[in-house]
């Protein structure tokens, strides 16, 4: 399961827990419910941080691939030029 799915699940749980707390009574939120909400908020924050790190890694990998592809294209161009020059020399 991807990180974004975990984030969506955690946010849903937090919203559901909050709505349940409001529906269950106007007496406020119990200490246990508040602790659960704080834990869920912490989990969401952690998952969001992991998601951001993975996005950064993905962007870096995509840049590295683009750089390697550019080098490969230049190598192929140089190879073709060298081949053409060798062919010219061979026909002299």
- pLDDT for 21: 59
Q: Can you say how many angstroms the Cα of residue 64 is from the centroid of all Cα atoms in its chain?
A: 16
pLDDT value for 23: 60
What pLDDT is stored for residue 10 in this prediction? 72
pLDDT the model gives residue 90: 82
Tell me the DSSP string of 19-31: HHHHHH-TT---H
Rounded to an integer, what distance in angstroms lies between the CA atom of residue 41 and that of residue 61?
30
Query: Please, what sign has the CA dihedral across residues 15, 21, 25, 28?
Result: negative
Count the domains in the chain: 1
Roughly what angle, to the nearest 10 degrees, separates helices 31-90 and 3-24?
A: 160
Q: Could you tell me the mean pLDDT of each successive run of 10 residues in the chain, 92 residues long?
A: 70 69 64 91 92 96 98 98 92 73
Domain of 67, in residue numbers: 3-90
Neighbours of 21 (CB within 10 A): 17
């Amino acid at each position: 399961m991807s990180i974004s799915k975990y984030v969506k699940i955690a946010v849903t749980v937090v919203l559901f827990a909050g709505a349940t707390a409001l529906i269950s009574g106007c007496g406020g939120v119990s200490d246990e419910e508040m602790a659960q909400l704080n834990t869920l908020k912490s989990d969401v924050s952690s998952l969001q941080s992991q998601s951001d790190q993975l996005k950064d890694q993905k962007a870096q990998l995509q840049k590295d691939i683009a750089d390697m592809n550019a080098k490969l294209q230049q190598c192929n161009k140089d190879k073709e030029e060298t081949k053409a020059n060798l062919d010219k020399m061979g026909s002299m």
